[in-house]
Amino acid sequence: MDVATARTRPPLTRHRVLDAALRYIDAQGLAALSMHKLGADLGVKAMSLYNHVADKDDVLDGVVELLWTEIETAAPATGDWRAGYRAFGHALWDVISGHPNAGPLVCTRQIIPAAALRIIRDHIASATASGVHEQRAYALLRTISSFALGHVLVYLNWSPCSGRAPTVTDLLSSDLPAELVNVAENFCGQSNLQVEFELGLDLMLRGIAFPDGDVTSDVATAQPGHVDDKGPGGDNRRTC
Amino acid sequence: MDVATARTRPPLTRHRVLDAALRYIDAQGLAALSMHKLGADLGVKAMSLYNHVADKDDVLDGVVELLWTEIETAAPATGDWRAGYRAFGHALWDVISGHPNAGPLVCTRQIIPAAALRIIRDHIASATASGVHEQRAYALLRTISSFALGHVLVYLNWSPCSGRAPTVTDLLSSDLPAELVNVAENFCGQSNLQVEFELGLDLMLRGIAFPDGDVTSDVATAQPGHVDDKGPGGDNRRTC
DNA sequence: CACCTCAACTTACGGCATAAGCCTCGGTCG
DNA sequence: CGACCGAGGCTTATGCCGTAAGTTGAGGTG
């Protein structure tokens, strides 16, 4: 790479590096990413990247930032907090499944990007502004996030046509009894998980998760995402 | 490693290799695992491992098999399908969170081990034997799995004291406004996610997910995990 | 005894992340 | 105008990685 071409090329920036990394992973898979190839993709030697990112871990963390930014722009908070929560879960599902190779990084890298905190903050604010008890607003958002995350991961890893595996049988070892293959097909193959996810999300927000319909009260009934009514005791291990 | 010590050492098997790999990952972290170090751990050169596993990917897939075997033994199906489903979700949560470094492999590797299919089959059989419609039995098990998986991943990645990060602030970039740090603490830090998970699981099975309490009917009402009442149309993308 | 099998070993190769240092610009200030 | 300098890209070099290919030697089988 001589000096002339280096001049004509737009200068590298952290954002351009991360963006290229995300597109590379989307196209070639996570395992295929290397600093050399990423550099080559940008018309630059590997070591030049280190002027803009700390190391490869930093690149991967940066990709997660990018994904959260996508989620943030896809589901901004509005006046209607239920619609906002729903959009948030939906955006989580959509963005992660839209990047089948990079998406799992969101739940693999131990990092909480600012974009994640911003969108959480906004949706919480929207809910509390409508009178929802703050702790309950957090708990419900947490429950929705967990459900969306788990659901999309099951979808990505265990469903054919999700962009990662063409058929269910590709996920199984070849010498399996037909009976178990049948179980796999029933569990993974036939149903439309996207529809299933949306129905679950709808239900959660329509009040099923809060059967009395009064989400603004803070009475201590057992509800998903409500923990105030249970002390630190009990049978839970690994308490902080 | 001379011949004499090779003789006294118990012979390598695939299972011993995988077991050592799991313990190594538990102790040193996923990124630290290499064939050389794994071999050294077993008193053997790296290449000797290849007599028992195909390659490194095979080792990681094997670790996932081990984890599913743990889940299988922890939550065998019984006559009471609701208790069984509950135990299954619980086991997923426990086993994955019990291996903070290896657990995420379960939703990262694209593989469905036989142990997973066996336990799924048994719990489905238990439910249908009690009169639950088969498609609904699958849908509910799928929903519980998704919730458990997503919940434990949020726990592992975003909670301090989960074995991966000591404090919430370690997960954040250092130059964050106090307001967002506060959001992070509320969302991740203070509550006991294990209790929250168990409550959600209980609720799902006590009938909240099926408000009419009649889980054996197959009327086409909108329910999480019920998809029969919606055709292939609709707004879903990436349909197979 | 002769032979075969097979697990473990040795060697070797290309790719990886990245540390250390260099080179060459464009801008800044005397 | 000319000396300086900082930044961004390049070169080189190191040590680890996964693993292909071929070797060794002990136990079992004829």
Query: Could you read off the pLDDT of A148-197 as tens digits, one per residue?
Result: 999 999 999 988 766 677 678 888 887 889 999 999 999 987 667 788 88
Question: How far, in Å, is the CA of B1 from the C1' of nucleotide D25?
Answer: 14
Any CB–CB contact under 8 A between B52 and chain A? no
Per-residue confidence (pLDDT) for residue A118, from 0 to 100: 97
∠ CA A75-A162-A27, rounded to 5°: 85
Res A9: pLDDT: 65
| Contact status of B54 with chain A (Cβ, < 8 Å) | no
B77: pLDDT strictly greater than 60? yes
d(CA B125, nearest CA chain A) in Å:
10
Determine the residue of chain A that is closest to B137 in CA distance: A187
Q: In this predicted structure, what is the pLDDT of residue B172?
A: 83
Rg (C-alpha) for chain B, rounded Å, is 22
Which of A235 and A107 is assigned the larger pLDDT? A107
| pLDDT 10s digits, A191-223 | 677 888 888 887 777 655 554 445 554 433 334
Mean pLDDT of chain A: 83
Q: Are A64 and A30 in contact (CB under 8 A)?
A: no
* Closest nt to residue A39, judged CA to C1': D9
CB contact, 8 Å: B231 with chain A? no
> Residue B7: pLDDT above 50?
no
Nearest chain B CA: its distance from A2 CA (Å): 36
Of residues A112, A75, A124, A156, the one with CA closest to residue A225: A124
Q: pLDDT confidence of B216, banded at 50, 70, 90?
A: low
Q: For chains A and B, what is the number of CB pairs under 8 angstroms? A: 226
Q: Cβ B195–A227 below 8 Å, yes or no?
A: yes
Query: Residue B67's closest CA among B124, B29, B25, B33?
Result: B25
Cβ partners under 8 Å of residue B231, min gap 6:
none
Its sign, for the CA torsion B113, B40, B100, B185, is negative
Taking 70 as the threshold, does the pLDDT of residue B132 lie above it?
A: yes
Please, which contacts does B95-98 make with residues 24 or more away whose CB atoms are closer than 8 Å? B95/B67, B95/B70, B95/B71, B96/B67, B96/B149, B96/B152, B96/B153, B96/B156, B97/A238, B97/B152, B97/B155, B97/B156, B97/B162, B97/B163
**Nearest CB to A117: which of B138, B147, B180?**
B180
> Region B116-122: what's the mean pLDDT?
98
8 Å CB contact between A187 and A158 = yes
Average of per-residue pLDDT across B74-80:
96
Over residues B152-176, mean pLDDT: 80
State how far residue B219 is from chain A, nearest Cα, in angstroms.
15
Is the model's pLDDT at B126 over the cut of 50?
yes
A55 interface with B at CB cutoff 8 Å? no
- Chain A residue with Cα closest to B191: A227
- Residue B76 tokens, joined: 């065998």
Give the pLDDT of residue A2: 45
Compute the C-alpha angle A223/A196/A27, nearest 5°. 115
Q: Is the pLDDT of residue B67 over 90?
A: yes
Whole-angstrom distance, CA of residue B73 vs CA of residue B71? 6
Model pLDDT, residue A42: 93
Q: Quick check: A34 pLDDT over 90?
A: yes
Give me the pLDDT at residue B194, please: 80
Specify the pTM.
0.86
Say yes or no: A236 contacts chain B, CB-CB below 8 A: yes
Max avg pLDDT among A33-37, B140-144, B202-206? A33-37
